[in-house]
Amino acid sequence: MEQDGLIDASQMPMAHTAHDLMVLKLYSLATFALLSYDIIITFGDEVEHIWKRKLTPFTLLWFLIRYVPPIGFAFITMALHYPRWSADAHSCDKIALFPGILGIFTTTVIGIIFIIRLYATYAGSKAVLCSMTLLLAVVQGIKIWAFSSGKRLQLPPGASGCILIPGGNSVRFTCTWIAELIFDSVVLVLTLYRAITSNRNTRGSMCTLWKLILRDGIVYFMIILASDLANVLAFLLYPADLKALNTSFTISIIPLTVSRLILNLRSADTKLRPTTSDQQWIYDDENEILDINETITFA
């Protein structure tokens, strides 16, 4: 039921609501633990392949996708467990929107990273840069439109949590993950096309870095596909107090996976580079070298 524009879970049996809230909170905590654990176990690689290199604009992008999500996730965790925030309806209404804001911010930064990588692998193609930037802007606009329909879940007395769910139209809310899948699909298709043409032009002797980019790109897409599909199904089929169940996982798994993509590429670059100079190499069709760091500075 809805009351004053808010989804009303107070009409559900208290035991049922308490159980669902506990599931959501524990799932969120487990996701936060996963994100924190990954940062800890890869910190040595991060220092070696990110912070020991020359600082560039790409370093800032790395910092934003690496550390803003866990800081934001800590805030989301407090919003789920801190009773005083839940008691203030006006503040809770605003706090409930934070996961959507964090998701849009994170995917914007990641979208920029993918656009820069495509721009580099397509030898500085302005068409790729402009078209992908426009697509990213459209996708993020759809996300803002979709999340703007979200409302706070109204909980029964004694329950705590500022939880964002659809304000009425769940289909509109799911557009955010459908739009995300469209962008990621285009990135994957362009990457595959570039790799195939490169492989054809080099008579089947594909560069090792290209193989790594393809492998990690496909793995990333499959993870995001599964996560986004789970979100769509949850918001369409689950009861009101469980609709946001998988949102926390999506917010964390995207930056986690992209961080791994970057570390894998940097690690391979360290092993394969012909000199000790602080550059990251990708070979184009004629085996000329593109310096991605210069491309990032230019972009």
The pLDDT, as a whole number, for residue 5 is: 43
Query: Of the ranges 9-18, 91-100, 207-216, 278-287, which is most confident?
Result: 91-100
pTM of the entire structure?
0.80
Determine the CATH number of domain 2-298. 1.20.1070
What mean pLDDT comes out for the span 157-183? 81
Judged by average pLDDT, the poorest of 119-123, 134-138, 282-286 is: 282-286
The pLDDT, as a whole number, for residue 269 is: 66
Residue 200, pLDDT above cutoff 80? no
For 211-233, the pLDDT digits (tens) are: 778 888 888 899 988 888 888 88
The pLDDT, as a whole number, for residue 110 is: 94
The pLDDT, as a whole number, for residue 294 is: 37
- The dihedral over CA atoms of 204, 207, 213, 214, expressed in degrees to the nearest 10, equals 10
The pLDDT, as a whole number, for residue 142 is: 93
Query: How many other CB atoms are there within 10 angstroms of residue 271's CB atom?
Result: 7
Confidence of residue 78 (pLDDT cuts 50, 70, 90): confident
Residue 1, pLDDT above cutoff 90? no
Q: How far apart are CA 276 and CA 110, in angstroms?
A: 28
For 141-151, the pLDDT digits (tens) are: 999 998 887 77
What mean pLDDT comes out for the span 183-190? 92
Comparing 207 with 140, which gets the higher pLDDT?
Answer: 140
The residue whose two tokens read 């994957």 is 188
Confidence of residue 163 (pLDDT cuts 50, 70, 90): confident
Q: How far apart are CA 191 and CA 188, in angstroms?
A: 5
Domain ranges of the chain: 2-298
* Residue 192, phi then psi, degrees to nearest 5: -60, -45
Comparing 226 with 19, which gets the higher pLDDT?
Answer: 226
Percentage of the chain surpassing pLDDT 90?
A: 26
Residue 283's SS3 state is strand
For 249-290, the pLDDT digits (tens) are: 888 889 999 999 889 888 876 665 554 343 444 443 333 334
The pLDDT, as a whole number, for residue 6 is: 44
Average pLDDT along the chain: 79
Residue 162, pLDDT above cutoff 60? yes
Give burial (CB, 10 Å; 0-12/13-18/19+) of 66. Answer: buried
The pLDDT, as a whole number, for residue 271 is: 63
